[in-house]
């Protein structure tokens, strides 16, 4: 249905001082702090986890060398979504408007909605990170204590006991990440890179990463987290995280969190011959997801 004059009554009368409600600032592109961006030319993208070789055994004198097998472990699939929004204005509403361009005002509002949606969809990967209704290529949620290994057994990218963000939990997370193994049980030498938090944790995170001495103690010890620079990219606040005490650490694992862009954001405008209405539409195609869960460590909070 087109926006008509009845819906814009005050904009058709003299004496209006100001129009407000759509000119707020916005949090732009917060998802870019979390995901590696790639382009796509297909309906979906797949990324395959490979299992390499295990530790090399000792070769006895005169005996043959041992052979090992490498194989595909599992596949992560990214299926694009089409995100679109439109509005229409009647010919009369455009003609009788006494103030600035209606179309210009509402196209800005439409762009704001599209940007907001993209941030929400990016944050959703973290908001459902502990939810076993959203499974990745290895058959488990992104944050789990039971990620399977090709050689058997499991590994975890969450603490044994869920904990709030504090000095102890952050130090333990950094240690856990440094001990991650690959599919064959070889240590990966991964390191923490960036802390991801909701706005409710920004002051705690700032103190943990930037205070010279240890916090919440009378001991005159240095802050080892800051001194060793074990979270080199600091922290980023994501205003679209819904759990106020969940926190995450991104690691330097390659091919972990991905955003595939199939079609860039486009805007179109056209007039309808019969009604004279002007129609405005924007559209883009993309998908957020994860391939290797070693790219993130998280806790839902205590």
Q: State how far the Cα of 75 lies from the Cα of 291, in Å rounded to an integer.
A: 8
Q: Which residue has the higher pLDDT, 276 or 116?
A: 116
pLDDT tens digits for 140-153?
A: 999 999 999 988 99
Record the pTM: 0.86
Q: Where are the beta strands (DSSP E) in the chain?
A: 36-39, 44-51, 71-79, 81-89, 147-148, 154-155, 192-197, 235-237, 247-251, 257-271, 278-290, 296-299
For the chain, the structural domain boundaries read 45-50+75-274+288-299
pLDDT at 166: 95
pLDDT tens digits for 150-197?
A: 889 999 999 999 999 999 999 999 999 999 999 999 999 999 999 999
Which residues, listed in sequence order, are joined to residue 297 by a DSSP beta bridge? 249
Distance of CA 186 to the CA centre of its chain: 28
């Amino acid at each position: 249905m087109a926006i008509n004059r009845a819906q814009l009554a005050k904009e058709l009368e003299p004496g209006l001082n100001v129009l407000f409600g759509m000119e707020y600032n916005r949090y732009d592109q917060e998802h870019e702090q979390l995901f590696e961006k790639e382009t796509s030319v297909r309906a979906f993208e797949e990324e395959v986890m490979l299992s390499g070789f295990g530790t090399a055994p000792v070769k006895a004198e005169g005996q043959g060398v041992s052979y090992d097998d490498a194989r595909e472990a599992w596949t992560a699939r990214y299926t694009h979504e089409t995100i679109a929004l439109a509005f229409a204005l009647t010919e009369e509403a455009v003609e009788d408007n006494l103030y600035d361009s209606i179309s210009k005002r509402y196209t800005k509002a439409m762009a704001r909605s599209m940007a907001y949606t993209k941030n929400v969809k990016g944050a959703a990967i973290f908001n459902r990170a502990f939810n076993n209704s959203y499974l990745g290529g290895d058959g488990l949620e992104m944050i789990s204590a039971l990620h399977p290994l090709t050689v058997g057994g499991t590994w975890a990218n969450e603490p044994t006991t869920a904990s709030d963000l504090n000095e102890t939990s952050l130090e333990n997370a950094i240690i856990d990440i440094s001990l991650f193994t690959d599919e064959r049980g070889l240590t990966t030498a991964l390191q923490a890179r960036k802390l991801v938090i909701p706005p409710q944790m920004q002051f705690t995170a700032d103190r943990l990463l930037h205070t010279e001495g240890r916090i919440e103690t009378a001991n005159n010890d240095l802050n080892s987290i800051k001194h060793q620079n074990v979270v080199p990219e600091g922290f980023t606040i994501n205003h679209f995280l819904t759990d106020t005490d969940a926190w995450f650490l991104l690691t330097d694992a390659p091919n972990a969190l991905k955003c595939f862009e199939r079609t860039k954001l486009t805007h179109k405008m056209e007039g309808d011959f019969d009604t004279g209405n002007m129609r405005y539409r924007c559209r883009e195609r993309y998908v957020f997801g994860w391939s290797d869960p070693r790219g993130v460590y998280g806790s839902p909070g205590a």
